[in-house]
Amino acid sequence: MTHPLRLGWKASAEQFGPRQLLELGVEAEQLGFDSVWVSDHYQPWRHTDGHAPFSMAWMAALGERTQRVEIGTSVLTPTFRYHPAVVAQAFATLGSLYPGRIALGVGTGESMNEVPVIGIEWPDQRERFRRLSEAVKLIQKLWSEEFVEWEGEFYQVRGATVYDRPEQPVPIYIGASGPAAAKLAGRLAEGFICTSGKGQELYRDVLLPALREGAEAAGRDYDVIDRMIEVKVSFDTDRARALADTRIWAALALPAEDKVDVHNPREMEERAKKVKDPERRWLVSDDPDEHVEQIRPYLELGFNHLVFHAPGDDQSRFLGLYASQILPRLRAQ
């Protein structure tokens, strides 16, 4: 089975309050987007005008206001402030309420969302990866068995049962920026998530081959895995406006080592002010045909689920422009 092309919208919970973000999610469905993926942050990337609504409550609200669109997290961390057994219960409930429309996207996490909340010392990448692997396996077990007993390296469960579960389990997507997590997605998950703007070699030579390797090692069909990428786009009829909008998300252009141990949105905001070229992480254009050509390489790599993250504050403007000028061109390809 090869997945059909799907085109989604990234609901930036760091940028908008819950009510405004909800109305935008409804608008995205009305304009023809196939999915809506919300970030799960306790703290945003910037303190000034920052937001961080609770993703799971917001997903339920969007589910009630929509009929068709798929709703997922990109991404939630089921290892520190959320125990994986609680995540299993929450998403089973969401899946029961909105069958076939809920997805659980997970990742290893960021210190700014975990350290200030539970006061831990932020572990290294290896431990975070082991925690994620165990959490995914535990969630899957809780969705398929009763009175689950689990004695893991990080988590213990004693006879737990998730009583309300959808007939078809909620698909799990694993976010990956390196080969180990991509292999894990291939072994365990229904979907894979990565983000654009990091060089074609990373996707072509590292992530997608690792995803395939993980799937084949587990005896799974690579083509059944939904290959999703968050594509960072700044498209507007006014090119100067499209360029200026990227400044809001300047933190994304910081090197990974400048972000990994930052726990305070004010500090992240100050570091982002020093970024001279925030647009380098974005596909910036004011021409629809040029913009489709900017996106084309990701389709040619084999990504079938593109979720568009736009930086501007006027998301209604973006949704309207994209729905009328870009989505039809991509589907016509």
- pLDDT tens, position by position, 255-291: 877 887 788 999 999 999 989 899 999 999 999 999 9
pLDDT of residue 279: 93
Distance CA 280, CA 197 (A): 8
134 is catalytic: no
> What angle, rounded to 10 degrees, do the helices at 55-65 and 18-30 form?
40
pTM of the full predicted structure? 0.96
Q: Which of 14, 29, 70, 110 is catalytic?
A: 110
Catalytic residue chosen out of the listed positions 14, 29, 41, 70: 41
Q: Which domains does the chain have, with CATH numbers?
A: 6-332 (3.20.20.30)
Give the pLDDT mean for 22-45.
97
Residue 313 has pLDDT above 80, yes or no: yes
Confirm whether 305 is a catalytic residue. Answer: no
2-17 tens-digit pLDDT: 789 999 999 999 999 9
Structure confidence by residue, pLDDT tens digits, 174-215: 999 999 999 999 999 999 999 999 999 999 999 999 999 999
DSSP structure string for 173-232: EEE-SSHHHHHHHHHH-SEEEEESSS-HHIIIIIIHHHHHHHHHHTT--GGGSEEEEEEE
